[in-house]
Amino acid sequence: MDPATSNDEIAFEFLPLFRLYKDGRVDRLKGTETLPPSTDPTTGVQSKDIVLSPESGLSARIFLPKLHNPTQKLPFLLYIHGGAFVLESPSSPIYHSYLNTLTAEANVVALSIRYRRAPEHPLPAAFEDSWAAFQWAAAHSTGGGPEAWLNEHADFNRVFVAGDSAGATLAHHVVRQSAVEGVSGVNIMGAVLFHPYFRDEGPDKLLEVIYPTGGGLEDPKVYPRKDPKLGSLGVRRVLVVVAEKDFIKDRGWGYYEALKKSGWGGIVEIEETEGEDHVFHLFNPSCEKAVSLLKKVAAFMNQE
């Protein structure tokens, strides 16, 4: 074969999102735009980028709402972005904008993490990074962590974990690990899983490619419905959000039903948005249903 064309051999395509070549190159066809941290002119939310682990490259964008009392402690939110474990980042326009809005509406300090993405870093790298980010944040519970905004303004007795799509899968893993391993000084009050991407019982070529060491339906990271430890989830309340036209809607419903039957002692709710598709609230955040969903999520994070 001509060496000039051999580099263009495609190993795997997941259209319209990305293309993986046999030489290891990745073409991300969406989700590559970025925005810098800023002070949002509409909400007054400030953001900045921080490094959590120089060794792994784990980083995050932290969001601080406009403070009416400089000594006020606010709920802490760990947010994990979606994108099939392959696309997007906290600096993507859709996530930067949504975290500004959610931070202001819910009045929380939010940490949006930049985990290592597949396929360059196959799963479970993103799971490891999500848990490491939570542990890094939890180290601020005594006020002695490396990030001043968390030391001064985050209340680790009121912690929430949220994510969308693949990020919802990672968010579930964080609250599961918090029960399995334990984290001192932290009280996880709630988790919000927007349109979660869990494996179902059919073949999943994407996961086979980006998670070659995965355990399939026996792996609680991607298929929690059979997880024997699901009933000990380390969170008080869970809100599962699904959309009527989303092709993975049934996976969210299946998770909701499994959690109800698991013996877990918390409260699980499910919210289905009629007439909408996967992560519609990110792509059309000003529509009536997205605004309504934002208010519901903010209220969920402000329950006592």
pLDDT score for 1:
40
pLDDT of residue 234: 94
Instruction: Give residue 28's region: left, alpha or beta (phi > 0; psi -120 to 50).
Output: beta
Domain extents for the chain? 1-30, 33-301
pLDDT per residue as tens digits for the range 86-126: 999 999 999 999 999 999 999 999 999 999 999 999 999 99
How many helices and strands (H and E) does the chain possess? 9, 11
Q: Which helix (H) or strand (E) holds 114?
A: strand 109-114
Give the C-alpha separation, 55 to 53, whole Å.
Answer: 5
Architecture of domain 33-301: 3-Layer(aba) Sandwich (3.40)
Q: Are strands 10-14 and 18-21 parallel, antiparallel or unpaired?
A: antiparallel
Helix, strand, coil percent values for the chain (each to nearest 5): 35, 25, 45
pLDDT at 6: 56
- Rounded Cα distance, 214 and 166, in Å: 15
What are the residue numbers of the active site?
165, 246, 278
Task: Supply the mean pLDDT for the chain.
Answer: 96
Taking the C-alpha atoms of 178, 280, 27 and 120 in order, what is their torsion angle to the nearest 10 degrees?
Answer: 0
For residue 163, what is the enclosing H or E element? strand 154-164
Q: Give kind and range of the element (H or E) at residue 298.
A: helix 288-301
Dihedral of alpha carbons 256, 260, 264, 268, sign? positive
pLDDT at res. 8: 87
Q: pLDDT (tens digit, 0 to 9) for every residue of the chain, 304 residues total?
A: 444 455 789 999 999 999 999 999 999 999 999 999 999 999 999 999 999 999 999 999 999 999 988 888 999 999 999 999 999 999 999 999 999 999 999 999 999 999 999 999 999 999 999 999 999 999 999 999 999 999 999 999 999 999 999 999 999 999 999 999 989 999 999 999 999 999 999 999 999 999 999 999 999 999 999 999 999 999 999 999 999 999 999 999 999 999 999 999 999 999 999 999 999 999 999 999 999 999 999 999 998 7
Here the tokens at position 23 are: 């030489």
Do the Cβ atoms of 183 and 135 come closer than 8 Å?
yes
* Residue whose entry in the numeric block shows the structure tokens 């392959």: 86
pTM, entire model:
0.96
